[in-house]
């Protein structure tokens, strides 16, 4: 915790990606990433309903927005690995 009692969010560093806490000044970059590949048109994400599938037990840790140039690069896998090992 910092001097004000706030939890300090760590920076997670991998071989190809660095995950930092989201800040207001990142908004322009996020919009640029979303525009590169029109991420809002992707239909790959399925949001589960209130009845969770306990039989298949799965864990979801969040979403990763990747520009078209980063898709398939391994960045998503490493980002998720960093989050899970944290």
pLDDT in tens, 51-60: 776 776 766 7
> How much is the pLDDT for 53?
67
pLDDT, tens digit (0-9, with 9 covering 90-100), for 16-52: 999 988 889 988 888 887 787 776 676 665 555 667 7
> How much is the pLDDT for 74?
93
Cα gap 16→41, rounded to integer Å? 27
> How much is the pLDDT for 44?
65
18-27 burial string, b = 16+ CB within 10 Å, else e?
ebeeeeeeee
Q: What pTM does this model have?
A: 0.66
Could you tell me where the beta strands, DSSP code E, fall in 2-81? Answer: 12-13, 18-19
Cα gap 24→30, rounded to integer Å? 10
> How much is the pLDDT for 17?
92
Least Cα distance to 77 among 14, 25, 29 occurs for 14
């Amino acid at each position: 915790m910092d001097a004000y009692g706030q939890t300090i969010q760590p920076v997670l560093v991998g071989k190809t990606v660095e995950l930092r806490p989201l800040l207001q000044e990142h908004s322009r970059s996020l919009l640029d990433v979303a525009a590169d590949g029109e991420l809002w048109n992707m239909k790959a994400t399925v949001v589960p309903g209130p009845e969770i599938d306990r039989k298949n037990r799965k864990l979801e840790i969040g979403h990763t927005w990747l520009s078209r140039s980063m898709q398939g690069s391994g960045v998503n896998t490493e980002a998720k690995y960093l989050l899970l090992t944290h």
